[in-house]
Structure 1
Amino acid sequence: MSSNLSRRSVIKNIVAGAVALNIPLGFSAAASPKETNMEEQTIKGNINHSVCRWCFSSIDLEILCVEAKKMGISAIDLVGPADWPILKKHGLDSAMCNGAEINLVDGFNDPKFHETLIKNYSAMIPLVAKAGYKNLICFSGNKRGKTDEEGWNNCVKGLQPLLPLAEKHNVVLVMELLNSKIDHKDYQCDTTKWGVELAKRLNSEHFKLLYDIYHMQIDEGDVIRTIRDNHKYIGHYHTAGVPGRNEIDENQELNYAAIMKAIVQTGFKGYVAQEFIPKNPNKMDSLRKAIAICDI
């Protein structure tokens, strides 16, 4: 990635390899005075806005929640059980829960991780439901020489035992699409086609894809057509500017307003989460502008 702060390193520190239910997340740095006390922003209601916690980890979660609500953001992404009480305190949803995964590279495509993953997800699914949330992230893992067919077969074997529990608790397991060209070398679920094939094989409403617009622009492009053709398999969206994974402004190549219109036209009712790494020292200003761009 282009920043020293990577999602992989942050998640590694958060997850610590298991369902860390009693470990508080150590984000305590405060935002600068210029980043607080912003006026409330009126939104149109066509997009349900969220923001990924790890991109703003230098800002105290309480402050992030307060300022996010002013922007019309109604959820925080990639937050585990330790921080759910803070979100609830501020009336925010946990749009994409985490904490059951091992990491981004050791996933369901390798049988040697199935025992740990099934244990972790079997413990986490009821917790997600009890908290009133719905989406729980998962990852294919790296190929490590596996063919597509081997990856699909292994993922099916690992995920199928969890689907009855997910259905029972009305929880959706959501596998993220990540690019393998720049940021996540060797990651297996690196195209929409690969993820959709897995979804077809699992054939369950309790398994969906996290379509990361940034990642898929890098690995396959043709974003709007791909969303229109595959929207029924997509349960969540992430954003970021291409190239660089920074602000989604005029300095990057994607037309996010047009992409948001396409998403709305599919009838999507889930969340779109900002997952860019701000270059602007005033991170909240960048987030506010991103919400304005996406609020079509």
Structure 2
Amino acid sequence: MPIRQSVSRWCYDFIALEEFCEKAVEIGLAGIDLLPPHDAEVINRYGLECPVTAAPEHPSGLGCIERAFNRPEHHDTLEEIYRELIPAAAEAGIANVITFSGNRDGLGDAEGLDHCAAGLERILPLAEEHDRVVVMELLNSKIDHPDYQCDHTAWGVALCEKLGHPRFKLLYDIYHMQVMEGDVIATIREHSGHIAHYHTAGVPGRHELDATQELNYPAIMRAIAAAGFDGFVGHEFVPTAEDPLASLAQAVDLCRV
């Protein structure tokens, strides 16, 4: 079965959701990422899924990229946030729920990993109860998210192994990890079992998957398929072309295996 492809909603939020659903179906997409659970029913009417969702903005400011699970003082509030989000995701048919490490802010990587594990352990029984997967996103700290702690695959894999829970995996963002470490195909081959979702974008720039960027996406997609991956690969590039939907269609065609 071909790998299912999706697109992150925020990259095309200048198009009304229902119109975007129509275009997504025409292009051959199977899903739209990062919708709030209440929007899933809208895209379901078009035969689309929402593979992954994230916590909404919280009055405390917690749960965002910079302030999350690597600080024990955040855990009580984060548990409250995910005790609402995980059941809502289950009701909406959304398989994966995103978490973040938070920024280092002087915190060592070993200590940050221990703190993340302690906080995540509090929500994984709920994920198991509702048959959802909690994913932590790998992001680059070199350009886009300075000081972010979960910025290398090895750190994310170590967290997976420390938790040892089938309901915790990684969101492997190909763009971010190419910026940080390269070796994308080798990493996929070695660690596919710890990855529940992928994101794409061109490097450098986080734009289209075209000839101006360095990643060989057909080869990467073949590696993902060969690893037996049965989830979604979501396009998360910022379109710059005059026809942004044509850019998306081109990416879908390029990544079709």
Normalising by the residue count of structure 1, what TM-score does the alignment of the two structures yield? 0.83
User: Do residues 157 (structure 1) and 118 (structure 2) align?
Assistant: yes
Alpha-carbon distance in 2 for matches of 1:145, 1:283: 40
After TM superposition, give the deviation of residue 132 of structure 1 in Å: 1.9
Deviation at 1:91, TM superposition (A): 2.0
Query: Is 1:285 aligned with 2:235?
Result: no
Aligned partner of 2:49 among 93, 105, 108: 93
Residue identity in the other structure for 1:246: H
- Is residue 114 of structure 1 aligned with residue 75 of structure 2? yes
Following superposition, the deviation at residue 89 of structure 1 comes to 2.2
CA contact (8 A) 2:63 2:99 kept: no
Per-residue deviation, residues 253-286 of structure 1 (Å, max 9, x unmatched): 0000000000000000000000000010211100
Distance 2:8 2:45 in 1: 18
Q: Kindly provide the CA deviation profile for residues 158-179 of structure 1, in whole angstroms up to 9, marking residues without a partner as x.
A: 0001111100110100100000
Q: 16, 29, 49: which is aligned to 2:5?
A: 49
2-side partners of 1:273 and 1:129: how far apart? Answer: 20
Q: Runs of 5+ in structure 2 lacking a partner?
A: 57-61
In the TM superposition, 1:102-181 aligns within 5 A as: 102-181=63-142
Tell me the secondary structure at the aligned position of residue 121 of structure 2. Answer: helix
Q: Please report how far the alpha carbon of residue 181 of structure 1 lies from its aligned counterpart in structure 2 after TM superposition.
A: 0.5
- Report the 3-state secondary structure (helix = DSSP H, G, I; strand = E; otherwise coil) of the residue aligned with 2:208: coil
Q: Residue 233 of structure 1 aligns with which residue?
A: 194
Q: Aligned match of 1:193 in 134, 154, 174?
A: 154
Q: Measure, in 2, the Cα distance between the counterparts of 1:52 and 1:110.
A: 28
Query: What's 2:30 paired with?
Result: 74
Cα distance between partner residues in 1 of 2:148 and 2:75:
17
Q: Hey, what's the Cα distance between the residues in 2 that align with 1:50 and 1:176?
A: 16
Q: Distance in 2 between matches of 1:144 and 1:190?
A: 14
1:62 to 10, 13, 18: 18
Gaps spanning 5+ residues in structure 1: where?
Answer: 1-44
1:88-111 residue CA offsets vs partner (Å, 9 max, x unmatched): 222211111122572111110111
User: Partners in 2 of 1:153 and 1:98 — Cα distance?
Assistant: 22
Q: Which segment drifts farther, 78-87 or 143-152?
A: 78-87
What is the aligned-residue identity percentage?
50
Question: Does residue 83 of structure 2 align to residue 83 of structure 1?
Answer: no
2:59 corresponds in structure 1 to none
- Which amino acid is 1:119 matched to? E
How many residue pairs match? The answer is: 252
Q: Which residue of 2 aligns with 1:3?
A: none
- Correspondence 1:8-19 to 2 at 5 A: none
One-letter amino acid of the counterpart of residue 84, structure 1: A
